[in-house]
């Protein structure tokens, strides 16, 4: 009887321990955040803070879903170059490295290049870049190989935008393309795609170099009118994205049909956009940030290409500048603003 009673007490004790361990495990999610440290994320962008607020909100919201809360277990060091070019990006990247951030989220090719030059050890998650292999950021999409990974946009969209512009403006023969001043024009993958695409479509491509600030953009549109372009488009870069409201206003002022790389231009009153869904890319980048802060290596995370694309038409903007969008084009649109 005494042995049986002892065995019963032991079984009860073991059951209690097992139940306590189970309850403890259930009280924490499987993806519980590392404890005892507040991780520091650096965000590097060539544009202005005000112009990128909506995208950063999407990024922070996704981080919160993954359990990362600002001032609780992460802090974000924001660095915006205010459209002041590559030298300013280089300074800001060096500043983030001096702060010993745990990770850098680099928006756009210029930011990735600056971050890459500043560090070979701090993980870098890139977003909104075109052909990172050709740019030398990664060895390959499947096996990045270094301290950089992230998300890229395919090159083929520039050709598509020109095709849509020509469909929207049947007699179009001359297109202006805004490109950033001081950029590596010879090696820019977007321009390398647009030039032969324009030739194939029998369009004269007028490349208009500009600083992404109010004065520079005004001068660029004046140049576009002087060159008698019948429509305009822009290189998909963050500094233009940050100034989208001003660019849209100028396109309306000069009555130029315009095709933009992101839907946010149309949200600001622009005519048309065709491009990858920026919110989707920022949400996915938050997922890679989460993985890396949990110990994953950038070299082991394949670079992903955008898979969600939107073709949006703003009929209000079309009416304001006297453009009639063909019914066949309206049928192809993802979204129509009336």
Show the CA angle centred on residue 150, arms to residues 147 and 156, nearest 5°. 130
pLDDT in tens, the chain (338 residues): 444 444 444 444 444 444 444 343 333 344 455 667 899 999 999 888 887 888 889 899 999 999 999 989 999 999 999 878 789 999 999 999 999 999 999 998 889 999 999 999 999 999 988 889 988 999 999 999 999 999 987 666 889 999 999 999 989 999 999 998 865 565 677 888 899 999 999 999 999 999 888 999 999 999 999 999 999 999 888 789 889 999 999 999 999 999 999 898 999 999 999 988 877 888 899 999 999 999 999 999 999 988 778 999 999 999 999 999 999 999 999 999 99
Residue 270: which of 324, 233, 218 has the closest Cα? 233
Domains of the chain (ranges plus CATH)? Answer: 39-153+278-305 (3.40.50.2300), 157-276+309-337 (3.40.50.2300)
Cα separations (Å) of 303 from 44, 137, 161, 165?
19, 11, 24, 30
Whether the Cβ atoms of residue 276 and residue 318 lie closer than 8 Å to each other? no
What is the per-residue pLDDT for 14?
Answer: 43
Q: What was the pLDDT predicted at 329?
A: 93
For 304-337, give one letter per residue: b (16+ CB within 10 A) or e: bebeeebbbbbbebbeeeebebeeeeeeebeeeb
Question: What pTM, to 2 d.p., does this model score?
Answer: 0.77
């Amino acid at each position: 009887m005494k042995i049986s009673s002892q065995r019963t007490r032991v079984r009860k004790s073991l059951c209690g321990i097992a139940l306590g361990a189970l309850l403890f495990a259930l009280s924490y999610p499987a993806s519980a955040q590392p404890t005892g440290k507040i991780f520091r994320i650096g965000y590097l962008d060539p544009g202005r803070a005000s112009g990128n607020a909506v995208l950063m909100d999407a990024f922070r919201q996704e981080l919160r879903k993954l359990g990362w809360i600002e001032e609780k277990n992460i802090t974000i060091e924001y660095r915006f170059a205010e459209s002041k070019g590559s030298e300013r990006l280089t300074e800001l990247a060096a500043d983030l490295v001096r702060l010993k951030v745990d990770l850098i989220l680099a928006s756009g090719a210029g930011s990735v290049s600056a971050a890459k030059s500043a560090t070979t050890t701090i993980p870098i998650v890139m977003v909104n870049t075109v052909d990172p292999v050709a740019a030398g950021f990664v060895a390959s999409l499947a096996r990045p190989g270094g301290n950089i990974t992230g998300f890229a946009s395919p090159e083929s969209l520039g050709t598509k935008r020109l095709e849509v512009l020509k469909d929207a403006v049947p007699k179009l023969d001359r297109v202006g393309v805004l490109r950033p001043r001081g950029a590596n024009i010879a090696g820019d993958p977007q321009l390398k795609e647009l030039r032969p695409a324009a030739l194939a479509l029998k369009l004269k491509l007028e490349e208009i170099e500009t600083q992404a600030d109010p004065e520079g953009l005004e001068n660029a549109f004046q140049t576009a009118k002087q060159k008698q372009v019948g429509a305009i488009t822009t290189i998909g870069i963050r500094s233009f994205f940050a100034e989208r409201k001003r660019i849209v206003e100028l396109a309306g002022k000069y009555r130029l049909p315009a095709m933009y790389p992101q839907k946010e231009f149309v949200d600001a009153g622009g005519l048309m956009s065709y491009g990858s869904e920026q919110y989707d890319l920022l949400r996915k980048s938050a997922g890679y940030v989460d993985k890396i802060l949990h110990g994953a290596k950038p070299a082991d995370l394949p670079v992903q290409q955008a898979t969600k694309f939107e073709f949006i038409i703003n009929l209000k903007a079309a009416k304001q500048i006297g453009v009639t969008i063909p019914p066949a084009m309206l049928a192809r649109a993802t979204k129509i603003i009336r």
